[in-house]
Amino acid sequence: MVKICCLGAGYVGGPTMAVIALKCPDVEVVVVDITAARINAWNSDVLPIYEPGLDDVVKQCRGRNLFFSTDIEKHIAEADIIFVSVNTPTKTRGLGAGKAADLTYWESAARMIADVAKSDKVVVEKSTVPVKTAEAIEKILTHNSKGINFQILSNPEFLAEGTAIKDLFNPDRVLIGGRETPEGQAAVQKLKAVYAQWVPEDKILTTNLWSAELSKLAANAFLAQRISSVNAISALCEATGANVSEVAYAVGTDSRIGPKFLNASVGFGGSCFQKDILNLVYICECNGLPEVANYWKQVIKINDYQKSRFVNRVVASMFNTVSNKKIAVLGFAFKKDTGDTRETPAIDVCKGLLGDKAKISIYDPQVTEDQIQRDLAMNKFDWDHPLHLQPTSPTAVKQVTVTWDAYEATKDAHGICILTEWDEFKNLDYAKIYNGMQKPAFLFDGRNVVDPEKMREIGFIVYSIGKPLDAWLKDMPAVA
């Protein structure tokens, strides 16, 4: 029986291992983590992450060939294949601060593996890591190996949150990078045999280590670039009276371009895009490629510009002040169908409004008040460290309330900001909401969820990203 151990029970480790256990009944899978609370949650009825379909998969396998444990050393010693999916945050100080990946957790994982291993191991990089990490990990393992043979593979994660289980059941591709030595290739085949139990052979790509590591960063950079491209066009649409939805549709019908990732919005979020691009930028700079670094930097600059442009539009429309005005924020997660708030544009928008002394009332169907308060009190990049190393109980932001109902959030508000495209926001009774608000009532749609014309008929003053501007907004230019 092949034994797999996965270090890190987060958004990557949990779902990936659950699906491997489901699809490979003859493989024993153990997910280990230093955070006891997280492991307890994986063993309970309420899993620590929300992902459609995940509950069913875990409940089918848990206790059969899928286990969650805090006994890290025991399970590493017993495993044949060790997946490492620990945090790789952006460094906040020292060399490469604000760009480079912090490999502290990765390195301690590698040292622990070297310490407790008593037999040959295949070690698989699952976390997103900078190119050449495998080389560093290899050195740590071989210098501490006590005669044990370690093979390093890179098997980057291409999951999209909200559709992770579907993506795992039917991936576009599984990428496995390994050394081009006989031992390296044998390790690649060993991991390939696990995936081949449900993924067609032609979808399992094998490359060298560096190609696999770089492909992940490149894929995320390309996706984020598409979002920034359409967001840049959205600003021009507003200035000229074009409609970004029509432009994006016309562009996307070109089969060479395709329609995906062309929705204009308040900006991209999520744990990977910004982090991976910053990482790519840093690697380019370290390799003496400043022109390439600057090219990718622009993707993040446009994203930051889009968020500040949105905040400026809100403030400028409302007589240039939101001081002491109640603003309802609908949606806090970085996209629909996930409770994940990492790098969500809502954080920057809320902070921008709070900077102008607004009172904010937030409703999101999947995000807890505790999480929202933590996010608004945390410094940039803090979220990417294990929970017990994050700043404890930050002081709650007093001007922020969190409700469990969209109607409650919008009651007596001067304006509404839609910041996540949850399906339920399409079907709210906006006439009822309008009647409960202060007038003039403003609706700022950061995800193009609602039909602006219908909202104007109800009485709202509407700002929709990349759509022709309301006469009201034309008179109130948003100067960034």
Considering the domain boundaries, does residue 317 fall inside one? yes
Q: What is the pLDDT of residues 7-49, one digit of tens each?
A: 999 999 999 999 999 999 999 999 999 999 999 999 999 999 9
308 and 179, same domain (yes or no):
no
The pLDDT value recorded for residue 90 is 83
Mean pLDDT of the chain: 92
Considering the domain boundaries, does residue 204 fall inside one? no
Residue numbers of the domain that contains 225: 221-475
Q: What is the pLDDT of residues 40-64, one digit of tens each?
A: 999 999 999 989 999 999 999 999 9
Rounded to an integer, what distance in angstroms lies between the CA atom of residue 244 and that of residue 236?
9
Considering the domain boundaries, does residue 208 fall inside one? no
337 and 377, same domain (yes or no):
yes
User: Per-residue confidence at 89, pLDDT binned at 50, 70, 90?
Assistant: confident
24 counts as catalytic? no
52 and 184, same domain (yes or no):
yes
pTM of the model: 0.90
Binding residues: 8-13, 33, 38, 86-90, 127-128, 161, 272-275, 342
User: Per-residue confidence at 392, pLDDT binned at 50, 70, 90?
Assistant: low
Q: What is the pLDDT of residues 299-312, one digit of tens each?
A: 999 999 999 999 99
Q: Is the pLDDT of residue 334 over 90?
A: yes
Query: Looking at 6, 24, 237, 272, which residue is catalytic?
Result: 272
Rounded to an integer, what distance in angstroms lies between the CA atom of residue 105 and that of residue 227?
31
Sign of the four-CA dihedral 376, 12, 387, 41: positive
Q: What is the dihedral of CA 33, 35, 37, 40, to 10 degrees?
A: 20
The pLDDT value recorded for residue 479 is 56
Cβ-contact 447, 421 below 8 angstroms? yes
Sign of the four-CA dihedral 431, 432, 433, 435: positive
The pLDDT value recorded for residue 137 is 87
Three-state SS at 200: coil
Binding residues for NAD(+): 8-13, 33, 38, 86-90, 127-128, 161, 272-275, 342
Calculate mean pLDDT across residues 269-296. Answer: 93
Residue 316's CATH number: 3.40.50.720
Considering the domain boundaries, does residue 206 fall inside one? no
155 and 256, same domain (yes or no):
no
The pLDDT value recorded for residue 393 is 54
Cβ-contact 242, 248 below 8 angstroms? no
Q: Is the pLDDT of residue 474 over 90?
A: no
Q: What is the pLDDT of residues 396-422, one digit of tens each?
A: 678 999 999 999 999 999 999 999 999
325-341 burial by CB neighbour count: b if 16+ within 10 A, else e? bbbbbbbbbbbbbbbbb
